[in-house]
């Protein structure tokens, strides 16, 4: 059961770019909910629940997976990407139009920050256990959300 949760129902076992696949889960869920129920409150609530549940799961379960595999942040653990991408999507709840483009921007920005790990993201991943696995992705999500907010705000000004 632990592997199912940490790998997001097997997405972490995709042969190429498992973190990218894990990041797509909240994007797809967000887009479907936005399509059928485009309500800011509902979208924010879904993202909050997704961030909270995936964060708790990561902190509680991922540390023991590291010990079993003898690997720091095993690649198949992608629940942390779900949490970080959910944070990156928060500004998208306010976008209204062009939601597919905004979701794509949130995805690309999150992946850039998650891969490049500018300060202090790289330092955060050095923390022990599930907290270290999670925190770098949460910070990458915050960076992505900040840039996305700036882009959306700039678009509004024009």
Q: Is the pLDDT of residue 132 over 90?
A: no
Q: State the pLDDT at residue 157.
A: 60
* pLDDT recorded at residue 156: 63
Under the banding of pLDDT at 50, 70 and 90, the label for residue 75 is confident
Percent with pLDDT over 70 in the chain:
92
Q: Cis link prior to 120 (omega < 30° from 0)?
A: yes
The predicted pLDDT at position 19 comes to 86
Please count the structural domains in the chain.
1
d(CA 20, CA 17): 5
Residue 104 has pLDDT above 70, yes or no: yes
In angstroms, rounded to a whole number, what is the distance separating the alpha carbons of residues 134 and 107? 17
Per-residue pLDDT at 76 exceeds 80: no
pLDDT value of position 70: 64
Range(s) of the domain holding residue 37: 2-157
For the segment 63-84, the average pLDDT, to the nearest whole number, is: 78
DSSP state of 91: G
84: closest CA among 42, 51, 133?
51
Residues 12-20: contacts with CB under 8 Å, at least 24 apart: 12/75, 12/76, 12/77, 12/78, 13/76, 18/75, 18/76, 18/78, 19/75, 19/78, 19/81, 19/111, 19/114, 20/111
Structure token pair of residue 45: 């609530």
Give residue 2's pLDDT band: very low, low, confident or very high (50, 70, 90).
confident
**What's the chain's average pLDDT?**
89
Average pLDDT over residues 82-88: 98
Over residues 22-35, the mean pLDDT reads 94
The answer to whether the beta carbons of residues 105 and 151 sit under 8 Å apart is yes
The pTM of this model reads 0.91
Neighbours of 10 (CB within 10 A): 13
Cα separation, 147 vs 61, in Å, equals 31
Least confident of 43-47, 51-55, 153-157: 153-157
pLDDT tier for residue 110 given thresholds of 50, 70 and 90 = very high
């Amino acid at each position: 059961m632990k592997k199912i949760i940490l790998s997001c129902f097997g997405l972490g076992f995709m042969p190429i770019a498992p973190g990218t696949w894990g990041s797509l889960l909240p994007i797809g869920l967000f887009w479907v909910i936005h399509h059928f129920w485009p309500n800011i409150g509902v979208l924010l609530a879904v993202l909050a629940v997704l961030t909270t549940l995936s964060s708790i799961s990561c902190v509680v379960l991922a540390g023991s997976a590291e010990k079993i595999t003898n690997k720091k942040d095993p690649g198949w653990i992608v629940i942390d990407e779900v949490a970080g991408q959910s944070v990156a999507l928060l500004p998208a709840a306010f976008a209204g139009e062009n939601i597919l483009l905004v979701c794509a921007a949130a995805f690309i920005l999150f992946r850039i920050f998650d891969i490049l790990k500018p300060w202090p993201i790289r330092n955060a991943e050095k923390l022990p256990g599930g907290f270290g696995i999670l925190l770098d992705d949460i910070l990458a999500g915050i960076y992505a959300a900040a840039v996305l907010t700036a882009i959306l705000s700039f678009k509004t000004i024009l």
